[in-house]
């Protein structure tokens, strides 16, 4: 739900039945939606400790975690200065006052290596849960209409590996890393996770039953040793949207309203 406009460039949008709000670019830049909420739903309600949202954009996924999980503190890390500013504005909205003391925003380059990460607040052995919606399109195929969208959507060579290395650096032992990505990136992701995260579980996301997955959720555990598991898919809609808009399945509707998490 759009509550109001900050100016001609932004909107204030409600999530999880308007339990929190986010400042988002109206046109030029990445607008969070279903992907962010599904990603956030993988964190259990009873989770504790610290959560890092890598590539947070305007902060929707991280704020959705904070809204449901009352015993976590969430740090939002975003490279793009304009999007990081939107995330900061989001945390300062009066409608989000109940979350403010558990949210922090960092303008950070996730691709740096070694202790250079520390200057961005990406500190070693810090986070119990890490979530990320990384840029998952091949840069050569990306035709985003704005520089901000291109940065949010396009994956440059070795970017995913660099993000996984940073996740491993900031993760505590047995910390959980969860990503939402395209199935085409699975082989690259598995290579990047090797030796860093294990006990990998993959949950495909299908637009309707009986068609190929368009996205996937992947969870891995730092130091995990269990074999890879392929889980039952998330089915988004009862039937294709073109028939009458296509209703979300009851399970997905509960997630979108903030009344359920997504077991992974």
pLDDT higher than threshold 60 for residue 98: yes
Question: Mean pLDDT in the chain?
Answer: 90
Which is higher by pLDDT, 222 or 139? 222
Q: What is the pLDDT of residue 139?
A: 42
Q: What is the pLDDT of residue 175?
A: 98
Q: What is the pLDDT of residue 136?
A: 64
Least trusted range by pLDDT, from 24-33, 67-76, 107-116: 24-33
Distance, in Å, from the CA atom of 12 to the CA atom of 4, rounded to the nearest integer, reads 6
pLDDT by residue (tens digit) across 163-174? 999 999 999 999
Q: What is the pLDDT averaged over residues 37-52? A: 97
CB 32 within 8 A of CB 62: no
Q: What is the pLDDT of residue 26?
A: 85
Structural domains of the chain ordered from first start? 2-256 (3.40.50.150)
Distances in whole angstroms, Cα of residue 214 to Cα of each of 14, 129, 184, 204, 206: 25, 25, 9, 8, 6
Distance, in Å, from the CA atom of 67 to the CA atom of 89, rounded to the nearest integer, reads 17
Q: What is the pLDDT of residue 247?
A: 87
Which is higher by pLDDT, 156 or 35? 35
Model confidence at 27, in pLDDT bands (50, 70, 90)? confident
Q: What is the pLDDT averaged over residues 140-154? A: 45
Pairing of strands 215-222, 197-206: antiparallel
Model confidence at 152, in pLDDT bands (50, 70, 90)? very low
Model confidence at 5, in pLDDT bands (50, 70, 90)? very low
Is the pTM higher than 0.75? The answer reads: yes
> Count of alpha carbons within 13 Å of 35, Cβ hemisphere only?
22
pLDDT higher than threshold 90 for residue 141: no
pLDDT by residue (tens digit) across 210-250? 999 999 999 999 999 999 999 999 999 987 766 555 689 99
Strand partners, 64: none
Q: What is the pLDDT of residue 71?
A: 98
pLDDT by residue (tens digit) across 178-221? 999 999 999 999 999 999 999 999 999 999 999 999 999 999 99
Among candidates 75, 110, 87, 80, which has minimal Cα distance to 21?
A: 87
pLDDT higher than threshold 70 for residue 153: no
Pairing of strands 2-7, 10-15: antiparallel
Which is higher by pLDDT, 29 or 126? 126
Q: What is the pLDDT of residue 33?
A: 87
Distance, in Å, from the CA atom of 77 to the CA atom of 126, rounded to the nearest integer, reads 14
Q: Which strands make up the sheet holding 10-15, listed edge to edge?
A: 2-7, 10-15, 20-25
Q: What is the pLDDT averaged over residues 74-86? A: 96
């Amino acid at each position: 739900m759009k509550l109001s406009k900050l100016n001609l460039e932004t909107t204030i949008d409600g999530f999880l039945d308007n339990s929190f709000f986010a400042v988002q670019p109206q046109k030029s830049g990445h607008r969070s939606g279903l992907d962010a909420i599904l990603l956030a739903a993988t964190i259990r309600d009873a989770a504790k400790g610290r959560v890092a949202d890598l590539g947070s954009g305007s902060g929707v996924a991280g704020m959705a975690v904070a809204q449901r999980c009352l015993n976590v503190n969430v740090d939002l890390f975003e490279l793009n200065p304009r999007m990081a500013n939107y995330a900061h504005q989001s945390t300062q909205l009066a409608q989000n006052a109940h979350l403010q003391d558990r949210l922090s925003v960092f303008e950070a380059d996730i691709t740096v290596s070694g202790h250079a990460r520390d200057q961005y607040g990406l500190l070693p052995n810090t986070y119990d849960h890490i979530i990320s919606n990384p840029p998952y399109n091949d840069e050569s195929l990306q035709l985003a209409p704005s520089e901000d969208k291109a940065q949010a959507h396009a994956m440059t060579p070795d970017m995913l590996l660099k993000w996984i290395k940073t996740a491993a650096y900031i993760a505590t032992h047995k910390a959980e890393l969860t990503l939402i990505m395209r199935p085409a990136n699975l082989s690259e992701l598995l290579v990047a996770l090797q030796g860093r995260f294990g006990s990998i579980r993959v949950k495909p996301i299908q637009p309707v039953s009986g068609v190929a997955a368009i996205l996937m959720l992947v969870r891995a555990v730092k130091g995990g040793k269990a074999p890879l598991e392929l889980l039952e898919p998330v089915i988004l809609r009862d039937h294709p949207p073109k028939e009458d808009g296509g209703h979300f399945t009851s399970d997905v509707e509960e997630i979108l309203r903030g009344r359920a998490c997504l077991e992974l």
